[in-house]
Structure 1
Amino acid sequence: MKTSEDKPSAQIHSSSTTFSSAVISSAVSNVIGFPLDSIKVRQQTYQFPTIRSCFQNAIQHEGWRGLYRGLTLPLVSATFSRSISFTLYDSFKHSFENTTPSIRYFLSGLCTGSLISLFACPFEYSKLYSQIHALLRRKDVQQYANTFVKPPQPPLSSFQSANDIVRRYGFCSLWNGYRYHLARDAFGSACYFAIYETFKGFLISNQVTPHFAYAFSGAFCGALSWILVFPIDTAKSIVQKNTLLAVKTPLSSIPWLSFSIYRGISISLMRSALINSCNFTLFEVLRDISFFQNI
Structure 2
Amino acid sequence: MEFWPEFLASSWGREFVAGGFGGIAGVVSGYPLDTLRIRQQQSNAGSAFGILRNVISTEGPAALYRGMCAPLASVTVQNAMVFQIYAVLSRAFDSSVSSKDPPSYKGVALGGFGTGALQSLLLTPVELVKIRLQLQNNSYAKLHEADSHKGPISVAKRIFKAEGLRGMYRGLTITVLRDAPSHCFYFWTYEYMREQLHPGCRKSGQESVKTMLVSGGLAGVASWVCCYPLDVIKTRLQAQSLSPLPKYTGIVDCFRKSVKEEGYRVLWRGLGTAVARAFVVNGAIFSAYEMALRCLFNNGSIQTETAI
TM-score (norm 1): 0.86
Query: Which of the pair is proportionally richer in helix?
Result: 1
Is 2:128 the partner of 1:125? yes
Is 2:92 the partner of 1:109? no
Q: Is the contact made by 2:116 and 2:183 (CA closer than 8 Å) also made in structure 1?
A: yes
Residue 145 of structure 1 is matched in structure 2 by none
Residue 62 of structure 1 is matched in structure 2 by 59
For residues 296 and 197 of structure 2, the distance between their equivalents in structure 1, rounded to whole angstroms, comes to: 25
Q: Structure 1, residues 192-242: CA drift from partner, whole Å, max 9, x if none? A: 011111111222217895322211100001011101111100010111223
Q: Is the contact made by 1:13 and 1:293 (CA closer than 8 Å) also made in structure 2?
A: no
Q: Secondary structure at the match of 1:133?
A: coil
Give the aligned residue type for 1:124.
E
Structure 1 residue corresponding to 2:221, chosen from 200, 212, 223: 223
Structure 1 residue corresponding to 2:150, chosen from 131, 156, 161: 156
Q: Is the contact made by 2:213 and 2:286 (CA closer than 8 Å) also made in structure 1?
A: yes
Is 2:187 the partner of 1:185? no
Q: Secondary structure at the match of 1:205?
A: coil
Give the aligned residue type for 1:277.
G
For residues 136 and 120 of structure 1, the distance between their equivalents in structure 2, rounded to whole angstroms, comes to: 29
Q: Displacement of 1:36 after TM fit?
A: 0.9
Do the aligned partners of residues 258 and 293 (structure 1) sit closer, same or farther apart at CA in structure 2, a change above 3 Å counting? Answer: farther
Residue 211 of structure 1 is matched in structure 2 by 209
For residues 270 and 78 of structure 1, the distance between their equivalents in structure 2, rounded to whole angstroms, comes to: 21
Q: Structure 1, residues 254-288: CA drift from partner, whole Å, max 9, x if none? A: 43971221111111111111011111112111111
Aligned-residue Cα RMSD (Å) equals 2.6
Q: Structure 1, residues 18-37: CA drift from partner, whole Å, max 9, x if none? A: 22111112112211211111
Residue 41 of structure 1 is matched in structure 2 by 38
Structure 2 residue corresponding to 1:265, chosen from 271, 286, 301: 271
Residue 144 of structure 1 is matched in structure 2 by none
Is 2:247 the partner of 1:253? no
TM-score (norm 2): 0.82
Q: Structure 1, residues 92-118: CA drift from partner, whole Å, max 9, x if none? A: 122123368221111101111111101
Do the aligned partners of residues 198 and 99 (structure 1) sit closer, same or farther apart at CA in structure 2, a change above 3 Å counting? Answer: farther
For residues 81 and 292 of structure 2, the distance between their equivalents in structure 1, rounded to whole angstroms, comes to: 16
Q: Secondary structure at the match of 1:289?
A: helix
Q: Displacement of 1:60 after TM fit?
A: 2.6
Give the aligned residue type for 1:223.
V
Residue 305 of structure 2 is matched in structure 1 by none
For residues 274 and 182 of structure 1, the distance between their equivalents in structure 2, rounded to whole angstroms, comes to: 24
Q: Is the contact made by 1:133 and 1:156 (CA closer than 8 Å) also made in structure 2?
A: no
Unaligned runs of 5+ in 2: 98-103, 301-308
Q: Displacement of 1:153 after TM fit?
A: 5.5
Is 2:19 the partner of 1:22? yes
Residue 292 of structure 2 is matched in structure 1 by 286
Structure 2 residue corresponding to 1:13, chosen from 9, 13, 38: 9
Do the aligned partners of residues 8 and 61 (structure 1) sit closer, same or farther apart at CA in structure 2, a change above 3 Å counting? Answer: closer
For residues 96 and 293 of structure 1, the distance between their equivalents in structure 2, rounded to whole angstroms, comes to: 32
Q: Displacement of 1:135 after TM fit?
A: 7.2
Q: Secondary structure at the match of 1:161?
A: helix
Q: Is the contact made by 2:9 and 2:15 (CA closer than 8 Å) also made in structure 1?
A: yes
Is 2:91 the partner of 1:94? yes
Q: Displacement of 1:292 after TM fit?
A: 7.2
Unaligned runs of 5+ in 1: 1-6, 142-149
Q: Secondary structure at the match of 1:288?
A: helix
Structure 2 residue corresponding to 1:137, chosen from 124, 135, 140: 140
For residues 198 and 86 of structure 1, the distance between their equivalents in structure 2, rounded to whole angstroms, comes to: 17
Q: Displacement of 1:290 after TM fit?
A: 4.2
For residues 111 and 21 of structure 2, the distance between their equivalents in structure 1, rounded to whole angstroms, comes to: 22
Q: Which moved more, 1:84-93 or 1:23-32?
A: 23-32
